[in-house]
Amino acid sequence: MAIRTSMSGNEATAYAVRQINPDVMPAFPITPSTEIPQFVSNMIANGEIDTEFIPVESEHSSMSAAIGASAAGARTLTATSSAGLALMWEVVYVAASSRLPIVMAVVNRGLTGPLNINAEHSDSMGARDSGWIQIYAENNQEAYDNMLQAYRIAEHKDVHLPVMICQDGFITSHAVENISLLEDEPVKKFVGEYCPEHYLLNEKEVMAVGPYAVSNYCMEAKKAQAEAMIRSKKVILEVAEEFAAMSGRSYGFFEAYRMEDAEYAAVAIGSVSGTAKDAVDRLREKGVKAGFLKVRVFRPFPGEELAKELRGCKAVAIMDRCESYSGQGGPLGAELTAAMYRAKVTAETVNIVYGLSGRDVRVEDMEKVYGDLREMAEEGKTFKQYPYLGLRE
């Protein structure tokens, strides 16, 4: 039976952690993810879970401890944001290349500078090529649901890769929304126990984790890691299907909103999705065939699937909540444009940067985006290819 309540995104994530009851959680506080280890440590102190909490001196140490715990055979969790993820940089790569199924709650916040603590995807997108699976939430419900699915994906024998569960700082992490929770026993059965086949404390097996690899072997290891990322696509969908049977909530690589006959579409990640859907509903009432794609899984990138969904569109706005400083736009824009080109999708595209450092995006802003797409497709009007939405110029 569903439990109806109200929670912030951080609370919802911590509630999922309580139900999962991981073995070890090393963490260092950083806004806006600080509440997650705080909630978990309170649960430990109250005897609600028996997770071993490790307070560390930095985020680099946090991921290092997570790697050690996971390599020893423990189900391991950590949480961070922004500069904390940046400080982990070296060991984030080590975790992935060591094929350790660590789960990390990332509460997205802009990287310095200038110093800012609000929502932006520059932290997790900066680590997009580190070898971690990345799953993003639109709202508090999805933050909870994604966390429950994370270990089933990470620990699968065909995957064995770490997973980032991402949500927008303050917008979802601290805002309170109505949420539907699952009871403990179904979750415990769904997540299951972690029984690793290979781990350092296995007295029947001698192994090394993170050894130096000479040129004769390193390339093969990287290829095996890449193949695991490709295989994770199938596992992500299988886990989502099983989760839907338990919860009644369905997930995939992305959500297609009113895309059946859409001529104009926007594509984005995270909390702006609700705003975009409201804009689509308004435009549909006016007879405009607008649609929206919310990307949930960014790694592995579902390029073929997204391109197929956009095949009938005349014009597409690809929206990034971070700046890649490539002079061409953001990471979602670059990867989806390439995927559309390979799939021979002929829709006009524009890559828009929005919401940096928590800049608000209104329904009216999204309506203007769709208006520009119509002018681009129907009147041949040209627009700046790399605009900042809502910029004070």
pLDDT in tens, 158-194: 999 999 999 999 999 999 999 999 999 999 999 999 9
Per-residue confidence (pLDDT) for residue 384, from 0 to 100: 84
Looking at the chain, the domain(s) classified CATH 3.40.50.920 span 254-378
Does the pLDDT at position 323 exceed 90? yes
Amino acid (1-letter code) at residue 288: V
Tokens representing 113?
Answer: 């500078």
Q: Are strands 103-108 and 133-136 parallel, antiparallel or unpaired?
A: unpaired
- 339 sits in which H/E element: helix 331-342
CATH number of 254-378: 3.40.50.920
Using CA of residue 268, residue 274, residue 278, residue 284, what is the dihedral sign?
positive
What number of other Cβ atoms are within 10 A of residue 250's Cβ? 11
Rounded alpha-carbon distances, angstroms, from residue 306 to 99, 257, 316, 333 = 27, 13, 12, 12
Does the pLDDT at position 240 exceed 90? yes
Strand, coil or helix: what is 238? helix
Q: Are strands 24-27 and 254-257 parallel, antiparallel or unpaired?
A: unpaired
Is-contact 235 159, C-beta < 8 A? Answer: yes
> What is the domain class of 3-247 according to CATH?
alpha beta
pLDDT in tens, 188-238: 999 999 999 999 999 999 988 888 889 999 999 999 999 999 999 999 999
Measured between alpha carbons, how far is 268 from 271 in angstroms, rounded to an integer? 9
pLDDT in tens, 56-83: 999 999 999 999 999 999 999 999 999 9
Averaged over 338-359, what is the pLDDT?
97
Cis peptide bond upstream of 300, omega within 30 = yes
Question: pLDDT averaged over the chain?
Answer: 97
Of 20, 56, 30, 25, nearest in space to 41 by CA: 25
Is-contact 154 133, C-beta < 8 A? Answer: yes
**Secondary structure letter of residue 264 according to DSSP:** E
pLDDT in tens, 107-118: 999 998 899 999
Strand, coil or helix: what is 357? helix
Half-sphere exposure of 240 (CA within 13 A, CB side): 18
Measured between alpha carbons, how far is 167 from 138 in angstroms, rounded to an integer? 7
* Total residue length of the chain: 393
Averaged over 296-325, what is the pLDDT?
98
Tokens representing 309?
Answer: 């969904």
Does the pLDDT at position 12 exceed 90? yes
Averaged over 21-29, what is the pLDDT?
98
Half-sphere exposure of 27 (CA within 13 A, CB side): 28
pTM as predicted: 0.97
